Chain A
C-alpha cells in the first residue's frame, strides 16, 4: 500500500477515535449527571423526612401552652400531612415551602410565650428543625445547581447530538411555582392577640 494512503488512513482512524471517545465520554458524563441529580434529590428527601419526623414532637411540646394559637398549629399539622415522598418534585417543593412557612410562623408565635420559649425540649427541637431547614436549603441549592448543569449540558454540543437519540429531557428544578407561593400567616402584632391565661 502507498505510504501516503497509510498516513491518510491513520489520520482518518485517529479522527474517528477522537470522535468515538467524545461520544462515549459525553454519554457517560450525562449518565453520571442524571445519577448525581437523583442522589442530590435523595439527600433532600432524607432531610425532608427528618423534618417530617420532628414536627409532631414540636407541636406536642407547645400544644398545651399555646392552645390559643390553633391556626398556627393547624398550619403545621396540615403542612406535615401534605408531605408525600412519591409526589412530583414541584409539588414536593410547594409542600416543603408551605412547611417552612408554617414552622417559621410557629417559631415567631413561640417568641411571645416565654415559658415555652425557654423550655429545654422546645429549644432543642427548635434548634434541630432550624438545622434541618438550613440543610434542606443548602441541598435544594445543590440539587438545583446539578439540574442546571444537566439541563445546560444536554442543550450544548456534543450532548445535544445524542439527546434525541437517548431521549434526554430537561429535569425540573426544586422550586415553588408562583401560584403556590403564599405569605406566612402569623400575625406578629402582640397587642392584638389574646394572651394565654
Chain B
C-alpha cells in the first residue's frame, strides 16, 4: 500500500524544522555574545582607556528622556509592542523602539553613551494580556503626551517619591473611551449572540534612569567622532549618511569649514537649553519667530554642564569594528540571559532533528519503509 501523506502533519513537522533551526541560529548568536560579555573584565569609568571596554553601572539621564508608550515611564530606551489576537489571526497593532543618549555612572565617575546602532538586550518589564472580557491589564497607562521630556529634577524626583498619591482612576488607552462592562456588552453581545473580544498582548522593555546596565562598546574621545551625525551613527550602516545628496551636502559643509564648530554645524541647536525653550544665550531667529526666554543663571550653568561635552572626554559609542551592546542588569545577568538563549538553541537543534525524522517517517511510509 503506498504511503499516505498527512499534509497537516507535514506542515507541522516542516514548521518544527524551520523553527528549530531558527532557535539554533539565535542560540549560537547568544553563545558568542555571552562569551564576549563574560570574557571582558569590567573597567572602572575613572580609569577607562580608549578601546573596547565593558562598563557596568547605573543609568543617568543626559539632556532628554523618553516617555514609554505603554506605561508612560521616563526612560532612555524603550521597545514596546501591542499584538492583537482576533480569532485565529494575530497581528501587530503597534511596535516602536527608541533610544536617546544617556550617561552611565559607577562609583568612580560617569560616561556619556551614544546608543545609535546599539543592540539592546533588555528584558521586558511589562508583559500583560487583556482579559477575556476585553478589560485592560493593570499597570497599562498609555502615553498621552510628547515622546520626549526634559529629565526630571533630582529634588523633584525625591519629593515625588516621598509624596503619597491618591489612587488614579481608569486611564484612557489608545484614545478609546473606556466605558467598562457596558461598552464590552454593546461591542460583543449582539442580538443575544456572544462574539469573543480580541485579546491584546502588551509588552514593553525599557531602560530607565536608576536601572543597572552593562555596556560593551568602544570608548573614544568625543572629538574623534567624525561629526555630529557620526557621533550618533554606526558608520556606513546609517541610511541617512548613505543618501548621496546628504553625503554631498556634508562634504561641501566640511570643505567650507562649517562643521568645525558646533555652532556652525547645528546653528541654534548648539546653544545649550535651546531644545527645551530656555537657551543660555540669545539665538538667531527670524523676525516673526517668538523669542524664547533666556535661562536663569543657575539653570544656564546646569545646562552648560549637561549639554557640553569636552573634546577630550571619553564617550561610549558603536564603531565599525566594535558593536555596541547595551544589556540590562549586571554583567553576570547579561551573560546568563545569552547563555539561556544558547541552551534554547540546542533544544531547537533537537526539535529540528526530531522534525526531520518525523518528516522522513511520513515520506518513507513509516520506519522500515522504502
Residues of A participating in the B interface, judged by any CB pair closer than 8 Å: 2-4, 6-7, 10-11, 14-15, 18, 21-22, 25, 29, 32-33, 36, 39-40, 43, 46, 134-135, 138-139, 141-142, 145-146, 148-150, 153
Q: Are B356 and A138 in contact (CB under 8 A)?
A: no
- A7-B356, A139-B49 as given contacts; A2 in contact with B370, CB under 8 Å: yes
Contact of B39 among A15, A39, A135, A149 (CB under 8 A): A149
The 24 listed contacts between A and B (C-beta, < 8 Å) are: A3-B359, A7-B353, A7-B356, A7-B359, A7-B360, A11-B356, A14-B352, A14-B353, A15-B349, A18-B28, A18-B346, A21-B28, A25-B32, A29-B39, A36-B39, A134-B47, A135-B47, A139-B47, A139-B49, A142-B47, A146-B40, A149-B40, A149-B41, A153-B39
Give complex CA distance A14, B354 in Å: 12
User: Using Cβ atoms and an 8 Å threshold, which residues of chain A touch B360?
Assistant: 3-4, 6-7
Q: Are A2 and B364 in contact (CB under 8 A)?
A: yes
Output the least CB separation between A55 and chain B (Å).
20
Contact of B49 among A3, A4, A18, A43 (CB under 8 A): A43
Contact of A145 among B31, B41, B364 (CB under 8 A): B41
Q: Are B361 and A4 in contact (CB under 8 A)?
A: yes
Between A3, A22, A46, the greatest number of chain B beta carbons within 10 A of the residue's beta carbon is seen for A3
* Chain A: CB-nearest residue to B51: A39
Q: Is the interface of B mostly helix, strand, loop or mixed?
A: helix
> Does B255 interact with chain A (Cβ within 8 Å)?
no
Q: Are A138 and B353 in contact (CB under 8 A)?
A: no
User: Using Cβ atoms and an 8 Å threshold, which residues of chain B touch A29?
Assistant: 35-36, 39
Give complex CA distance A96, B38 in Å: 29
* Chain B: CB-nearest residue to A143: B41
> Does B242 interact with chain A (Cβ within 8 Å)?
no
- A7-B356, A36-B39 as given contacts; A138 in contact with B44, CB under 8 Å: yes
Contact of A142 among B35, B43, B359 (CB under 8 A): B43
Residues of B participating in the A interface, judged by any CB pair closer than 8 Å: 24, 28, 31-32, 35-36, 38-44, 46-47, 49, 51-52, 108, 346, 349, 352-353, 356-357, 359-361, 363-364, 367, 369-370
Give complex CA distance A9, B321 in Å: 37
Give complex CA distance A149, B335 in Å: 14
Give complex CA distance A2, B357 in Å: 12
User: Knowing that A2-B370, A3-B359, A3-B363 are A-B contacts, what are 16 other residue pairs whose CB atoms are under 8 Å apart, sorted by A's residue number?
Assistant: A2-B364, A4-B360, A4-B364, A6-B360, A10-B353, A10-B356, A11-B356, A11-B357, A14-B352, A14-B353, A22-B31, A29-B36, A33-B39, A138-B46, A139-B47, A139-B49
* Chain A: CB-nearest residue to B352: A14
Give complex CA distance A122, B31 in Å: 52
Give complex CA distance A146, B52 in Å: 13
Between B36, B38, B49, B108, the greatest number of chain A beta carbons within 10 A of the residue's beta carbon is seen for B49
- A3-B359, A134-B47, A139-B47 as given contacts; A36 in contact with B352, CB under 8 Å: no
Q: Are A11 and B353 in contact (CB under 8 A)?
A: yes
Q: Are B41 and A40 in contact (CB under 8 A)?
A: yes
Q: Are A25 and B31 in contact (CB under 8 A)?
A: yes
* Chain B: CB-nearest residue to A18: B349
Output the least CB separation between B202 and chain A (Å).
36
* Chain B: CB-nearest residue to A147: B41
Q: Are A149 and B38 in contact (CB under 8 A)?
A: yes
